[in-house]
Amino acid sequence: MTLPEPSRPRTLLKTVTQAFQAVQAKVDFAKLAVKPGARSAQLQVIVDGQETTYPLLGEHYIIGRSSAQCDIVAPSPIVSQVHATLTRDPNRPGQPFVLKDRNSTNGIYRGKKRLTRTVMNHGDVYSLGPGELADAVTLRYLDPPPWYVKAGRY
């Protein structure tokens, strides 16, 4: 009895998609370096007092506990396997990121208010799970305006 040969992708699109998914799964976004002086939004993830900063160079990120399914991993029992998504909104000026809950068990909070979807602004702080819990994960979004915008405000 011979075993059947593993199925191969039948189209070029499926082949490219599988290759992209294989490469994306092996990228550690926290270790990406940005050129000095380059501006990009950043997400600081604080778990048990340890802070990891992720440069947000892409359009879409998955946040959760699963290292197999998520781009940004938050290893905490409070965090769901796939907890939230972070996606750019091309319809808004500046294309800000939108944080969206993915039916997680413990939710996303800003202070004591539970959120399902929110547009992120520079300096916003959120928690995955209620902030009062010891294992809650803190997210801090950093996207300062360019120097000329700051100068124009004063």
Q: Which token pair is 6?
A: 């593993």
Give the integer Cα–Cα distance in Å for 80 and 91.
29
How remote is the C-alpha of 50 from its chain's centroid? 17
**What pLDDT is attached to residue 141?**
95
Does residue 147 sit within a domain?
Answer: yes
Residue 100 inside a domain? The answer is yes
18 lies in a domain? no
Q: d(Cα 3, Cα 7) in Å, to the nearest integer?
A: 12
Each residue's pLDDT tens digit, 95-142: 889 999 999 999 999 999 999 999 999 999 999 999 888 888 999 999
> Based on the structure, what is the number of domains in the chain?
1
Give the C-alpha separation, 83 to 106, whole Å: 9
In CATH, what number is assigned to the domain containing residue 44?
Answer: 2.60.200.20
Amino acid identity of 132?
E
Question: In Å, what is the CA distance from 20 to each residue of 26, 27, 71, 113, 147?
Answer: 10, 11, 14, 37, 36
| Alpha-carbon dihedral 73, 133, 125, 137, rounded to 10 degrees | -10
Q: With H, G, I as helix, E, B as strand and everything else as coil, classify residue 18.
A: helix
- Within-domain flag for 83: yes
The per-residue pLDDT for range 10-35, each reduced to its tens digit, is 676 666 666 666 555 555 555 556 56
The pair of structure tokens assigned to 151 is 């100068």
In a domain, 3, yes or no: no
Other residues' Cβ atoms within 10 Å of the Cβ of residue 19: 11
pLDDT at 133: 86
Is residue 32 a part of any domain in this protein?
Answer: no
Range 56-71 average pLDDT? 91
6 is a domain residue = no
Tell me, yes or no, whether 52 lies in a domain.
yes
The boundaries of the domain holding residue 49 are: 40-153
